[in-house]
Each structure stands twice: as C-alpha cells, then as structure tokens.
Amino acid sequence: MELRDGQRFLGRTALVTGGSSGIGLAAACRLAAEGAGVFLVGRDPRKVVSAIEAARAAALPGVAVDGEAADVTDPAAMDEAVASAARIGRRLDVLVAAAGIDGEGKDVLELDPDVFTRVLDINVRGLLLATQSAARAMSADGEGGSVVLVASVNAFQTERRFADYNTSKGGAVLLARSLALDLADRRIRVNAVCPGYVRTPMTEPSLADPATLSEILAHIPLGRVAEPDEIAAAIAFLASDEAAYITGSAVVIDGGRSA
C-alpha cells in the first residue's frame, strides 16, 4: 500500500453531506487539500456556493470541486448527489455524512413530537439514505469505499434538555456499527466520529455566552472547544487507506470530556 504524505486521496472522489458549513465544510476542504475530487451538498444554496469556493481554494491544483443544494431526507436527491459526485471523478470512493441539526433545548416533557421526529429524520435517517445511495455506487464495481458518519459524544454522555439530540446521535452510532457489519462483504468500511463541543455555526450562540462557555469548559480537561479542522483530520484518517482495518468504530474527539 503506497501512501503519499499529505496526498492520501489523489485520484479519488468524495461526497460530503452537510458540506456547506462547520465540520462538513472542514472535511470537504481537508479532502480536497489531499487530492480528492469533492462534491458537497447543503441545505442553503447561497452557503453551498460559498463552500464550493472555500473548498476550491484549499484543493490541490487540478482537483475538481463542485456541489449543490439538496435535502438529505429525500432518497432521490441523495441518488442524484451520488451520481453527480461520481461524475467529477472516476467513481465515488468516500462518503462523509455530516448533515445534522440541533435539538430544541427543552425539558423532555416540553419537547414537540414533530420536532423530535424532524431531528431523527435528519440526524439518523439522513445518514442512512446518504449511505444507501453511496454504497450502491461503491459496490457496483466491486471496489468498495469508505463512509464516515458524523455523530456526537452525546451518543455516550448525554446532556439535560437534549433528549432529541442525544437520541439521534446514539442512533447514528448504532447505525454506523450496523452498516459496517452489513457492508463489510462489499468492501465498504463505515465508521463514526463523535465530537464534543466544536466551534461551528450551530454551537456559536452557546459559545458566545461567557457563562455558558465557562460551564462547558469546566468539563473539558483540555480546557477548550475543538475547531472544525481538528475533526476533519480524524475524518480524513478514517476515510483513508491508513485506516484500512478500521470499521464499525466510533471515535470520540472531545478533549477528554467523557474520560
């Protein structure tokens, strides 16, 4: 196995859902910087355009980067995203499923059942649909590929007033493990990353409040929140051939919070 330092994805193509901001965008930029052609999808067309520009700026010379707005809960949209990703390269080699939303932040007795369903729909079902579409393409020629799902440390260490989010991330981890078992004979590896607090548009309102930030940092031994690039580094490792014997794992990246 030949691995080129900093160019682990030369000649390969990746699809990144939730690629218009936060961890998804950081992953798209990291993969492009290491030589992968990248097709990213997000909900907001304007953010998708900005994300494409950012990933192109990070990409190695000659690497193709493109994207579109798409709904990860729509099976047809995921099939089209996979087809579009495959067209910018030789085939689809990597899926990073990073699309997700936050919970309501309410006491469990006050949760809106419809919102609860929406959180599960995007944070779990969206991962399933993206993986199903990607895995069909990856297995068609027998070459397989790698899938990385973005879950959360909340799958293992729950927080009060986040029953919807906690539940969805626990489901994401079990989904990754189940997919790993079912897709192994198709030469497709599936793993999950489980970040703690990361500085993203979703967490920024909480992190901007000094009292809330102080409470968060009090439970993190490293004394800071993560940056998206740090999570992207772990995603790139799991997606690469360096992780060829890793599947069904859930890698916690939380600064020691759950230690």
- Which residues participate in catalysis according to the annotation? 165
Task: Give the SS3 label for residue 1.
Answer: coil
CB atoms within 10 A of CB 253: 18
Q: Which two tokens stand for residue 115?
A: 């919102």
Q: Quick one: CA dihedral 132, 134, 137, 140, positive or negative?
A: negative
Q: Six-digit token pair at 73?
A: 């809960």
Alpha carbon 27 to its chain centroid, in Å, reads 8
Distance (Å, whole) CA 72 – CA 209: 31
Tell me which residue has tokens 């936060």. Answer: 22
Q: In 10 A of CB 84, how many CB atoms?
A: 17
User: What is the C-alpha to C-alpha distance for residues 22 and 114, in angstroms, rounded to an integer?
Assistant: 26
For residues 122 and 73, the answer to whether their CB atoms sit within 8 Å is yes
